[in-house]
Chain A
Amino acid sequence: MGSRYSFDNPDPHNAFITICREAEYGEGPLSGIPVAVKDNISTAGIETTCGSNILKGYIPPYDAHVITHLRSAGAAIVGKTNMDEFGMGTTTESSAFGPTLNPADPTRAPGGSSGGSAAAVASGMVQMALGTDTGGSIRCPASFCGIVGLKPTYGRVSRYGLIAYANSMEQIGPLAGNVRDCALLYSVIAGYDPRDGTSLDLPAPAPLKAEIAGKRIGVPAEFFGEGVDPAVAKTVQSGIDRLEGLGAEIISCSMPSMQYALAAYYVTSMSEASSNLGRYDGVRYGTAPDFVRSWHDAYSHIRKSGFGEEVRRRILLGSFALSAGYQGKYYAKAQAARQMVRNDFARLFETVDMLAGPTMPCVALPLGETSDPLSMYLADILTVPANLAGVPAISVPCGTAHNLPVGLQLIGKHRSEDEILSAALAFEEGSV
């Protein structure tokens, strides 16, 4: 320990909420490498806000599991990146700290919710960054900013210290400019943690090597269905042709449960969020309540003024979905639909090694365009199935459409990060 990384760069894209200008680092595989961390991952001594006013001033007294690993791998943690408030968004525009600009086109949003992490990498401010992915929040901004982003298998990376939005679906994962850096960061954060009851105890990730020849890659028709921008579809289709050129076997298939995926995802995530976000009452941290009021009124006041509109919308919808008389209609049905998605993946993975398609149905949107929440939710259609089933998925740059980056998504079986990283590397390097 003891070495210091001076990080005094300008932040023209508003990628960071907090910048650590003098970051300590040590020895290890990430020694001296600047790493940015999404602001919903707890960092001892560094303010952690989740992009929300309600957590302004909150300095965690403990490190998340992944931060402990970053530190012991020698990384220089140079700051906390901007995000949609509590991860609830696809554009990073719902942050209480202003929107992040997309380095590929600063008039556009970087995607979200890990938009700050993606922009910090895409602009070259940092070599790699941690994001979190609940319904596509790593892969979407990776796709929109033209970088690589991996959502690991549910349980592969400890969630201890990750401030929860939707516990049953979210994972911490790496974003980087290329597959090798992405895999390196992944290898540092993956592993068992007894403090996370859903953590998996698996062998360490294998060394990365480009490998795709002979792989059977399924392409569900639904991945190119209604709502996918034809220009994006064309770019991704040519990417899939390149996979075939590298020796992969492309197999057409179908995933009928896709029609329920968005509803299942939003009902589940909002329900869990309504419970997870109950604790922000101003008693123990964050903005202090006005004690002259009764506790009940003070809570209402703090929560009304501390949360942004999208967060309040999701808390209310989630509370409704769980409430007596409606739970069977919404939450329980969403769980049944979720099981159908899991079953579909299980069935497909009996015959294919991985699935391929676009990460996002569109390219990065102009800032301020998505005022309608419903159309924003629809953009998650291709990323949420992996979260519902807990399987790993990666977005890797695949060319452009409308002169903007497009991502190819590879979705693997449970615990097959090594396999999809190897395929992504082969794709990226154009080699077998």
Chain B
Amino acid sequence: MTVIIGLEIHCQLNTKTKLFCGCSTDYRDDGPNTHVCPICLGLPGTLPVTNKQAVLYALKVAKALHCKVPAFSEFARKNYFYPDLPKAFQITQYDKPLALGGYIDNEAENGGEKRVELTRIHMEEDPGRLVHKGSGDRGRYTLVDYNRSGVPLIEIVTEPQLSSPKEARRFLNKLRATLEYLGIYDSEREGSLRVDANISIKGYERVEVKNITSYKGVEKALTFEITRQKGMIRRNAQIVRETRHYQEARGVTTSARSKEMEHDYRYFPEPDLAPLEVSSWVDEIPLPELPDARRDRFVQQYGISQNHARTLTGDLKLAEFFEEIASDMPEIAAPWTADILLGELNYRDMPVTKVPVPHYGALLLEVKKGSVTDTSAVEILRLILNQVMEGQQPEMPGEIIARLGLSKEKGDSIVDTVASVLRENEAAVADHRAGKAGAINFLVGQVMKATRGRADPKEIAKIIADLLKE
């Protein structure tokens, strides 16, 4: 059963002001309804005026994603009633969007590239936000916060060319990285990237899943929905064309069908705004180095693997971090950052921007000099990250090595340890002499344990071999 997925991605543009008024878009730490004015509250008599910066940001995305920008596009009204929509219409774009076509080269299952084509990119305003309170039949009520009302969004629509939830996740990661590189999007703002997905099994009706409020939820939502659809097909149940809502907390999709959801949006051109004739602006818009180009440069400049380069450039902040510490020792910095640091950060849900560069750099230097073992270095890294998480001033690796005695034990200092381990494990020594392959590993492990990880396993193996020869 072939899976067909298309995505609609809503991305908040991080302009200073809203799409059609002068209100600030950065309301994160402020109370409800503090970033509002007559225009974004939709008071009678107010008129929208388009924020040029928002158009430039949207065009920047269109250019980076290889879209065509038509000579003429226009805003339209999408009419529907909902308490978060103060004008009872959303200013969006309908049949004349800002940009058409375009594509993203996405990492494919086999490690190569698969081109995913885009249908269009259009601009629109975000509605306000509802906050549901209370409980019980009579006790429930809803508050409306219009701080978000009028924040500029772009909607990026893909062709139905994605074939698995994993691929969709990779696509979104790539898109998100590109948007971050363009500097038009702030991933740390809650709800700054929201996804609707169209999912079908080839030969059956398609289902739209709305309300995926985090891009991390996409893979889970898609997986659930595909399992549901496949199950229905197996049971010979009919899949109906419908809109379903993703319930993040339960990880399931539920049918959104109700009278209120069956909209006829009555689109028509927004009479208060002149058409956009902005295609000539595109040439003037400078593009920064984008993820693909940076990945290729990392391979060239630092001599690191394609896979490491892809991981390291898959996030703008990570790429910048890597470049800060990479110059002297890319061959160590690449695997350490892509394989070890990233894992530790994910485990702690910690952003890379919080990693202290001098400390991390010094740690890699110790690794490079061979003054600590990898095991000790990971221990030191964890200690530093935990200190940062707890709000402490982190210790430098040198201090930690000295304090905990983590210096790598070398040569003579470990020969005695090895000798005593051999004495205490005669059975294993006998096994080794008899040619049992696992015995040496056991012995090395015992020495590692005895030195609390401060010895290099290769060196231990060599010493064991030398001692047993004698």
Contact = CB atoms under 8 A, between A and B. Distances in A.
A329 to B, nearest CB: 14
Contacts of B273: 197-198
Nearest to A164: B45
A162 B77 contact: no
B421 interface: no
A419 interface: no
Contacts of A55: 44
Interface in B272-301: 272-274
* Size class of the contact patch on chain A: 35 or more
Given A197-B48, A285-B43, A296 B260 contact: yes
A25 interface: no
A212 interface: no
A327 B268 contact: yes
A197 B77 contact: no
B211 to A, nearest CB: 18
Interface residues of B, number: 32
A361 to B, nearest CB: 28
Nearest to A41: B45
B79 A275 contact: yes
A68 to B, nearest CB: 13
Contacts of B77: 275
Contact of B88 (A163, A278, A292, A323): A278
Contacts of A400: none
Contact of B274 (A50, A197, A272, A327): A197
Contacts of A274: 79, 266
B45 A168 contact: no
A197 B138 CA distance: 45
Interface centre among B44, B89, B142 (most CB of A within 10 A): B44
Say whether chain A's binding surface is mostly helix, strand, loop, or mixed: loop
A295 B41 CA distance: 18
Contacts of A323: 264, 266
A284 B86 contact: yes
A322 B265 CA distance: 9
Interface stretch (A57-65, A104-112, A218-226, A363-371): A57-65
B44 A163 contact: yes
Contacts of B268: 271-272, 275, 322, 327, 331
Contacts of B44: 42, 48, 50, 55, 58, 60, 163-164, 279, 285
Contacts of A196: 47, 49, 272
Interface in A230-253: none
B172 to A, nearest CB: 31
Say whether chain B's binding surface is mostly helix, strand, loop, or mixed: loop
A186 interface: no
Interface centre among B42, B89, B260, B272 (most CB of A within 10 A): B272
Contacts of B79: 274-275, 278, 322
A161 interface: yes
Given A61-B38, A167-B271, A299-B81, A281 B49 contact: no
A239 B88 CA distance: 47
A283 interface: yes
Contacts of B45: 40-42, 48, 60, 64, 160-164
B47 A159 contact: yes
B88 A279 contact: yes
Given A197-B274, A279-B87, A331-B268, A291 B47 contact: no
Nearest to A300: B81
A194 B49 contact: yes
A58 to B, nearest CB: 7
A195 interface: yes
Contacts of B264: 323-324
Interface string A71-99: 00000000000000000000000000000
Interface string B27-61: 00000000000100111111111100000000000
B144 interface: yes
B278 to A, nearest CB: 14
B83 interface: yes
A160 B46 contact: yes
A319 interface: yes
B266 A195 contact: no
Given A61-B38, A291-B141, A323-B266, A167 B272 contact: yes
Contacts of A281: 81, 83, 88
A66 B229 CA distance: 59
Given A42-B44, A168-B271, A197-B273, A275 B49 contact: no
Interface in B66-110: 77, 79, 81, 83, 86-89
A283 B144 contact: yes
Nearest to A278: B88
Contacts of A327: 266, 268
Interface string A180-204: 0000000000000011111000000
Interface string A309-324: 0000000000100111
Contacts of A291: 141
A415 B1 CA distance: 65
Contacts of A60: 38, 43-45
Closest 10 CB pairs of A and B: A278-B88, A322-B266, A168-B271, A167-B271, A163-B44, A42-B45, A161-B45, A163-B45, A197-B273, A279-B88
Interface of A: 40-42, 48, 50, 55, 58, 60-62, 64, 159-164, 166-168, 194-198, 271-272, 274-275, 278-279, 281, 283-285, 291-292, 295-296, 299, 319, 322-324, 327, 331
Given A48-B45, A61-B38, A327-B266, 17 more contacts: A60-B38, A61-B43, A159-B47, A159-B272, A161-B46, A197-B273, A272-B271, A274-B79, A274-B266, A275-B266, A275-B268, A279-B88, A283-B83, A296-B81, A322-B268, A324-B264, A324-B266
29 contacts: A48-B44, A50-B44, A60-B38, A160-B45, A160-B46, A163-B44, A194-B49, A195-B47, A195-B49, A196-B272, A197-B49, A197-B50, A197-B274, A275-B89, A275-B266, A275-B268, A278-B81, A278-B88, A279-B86, A281-B88, A292-B138, A295-B83, A296-B260, A322-B266, A322-B268, A323-B264, A323-B266, A324-B266, A327-B268
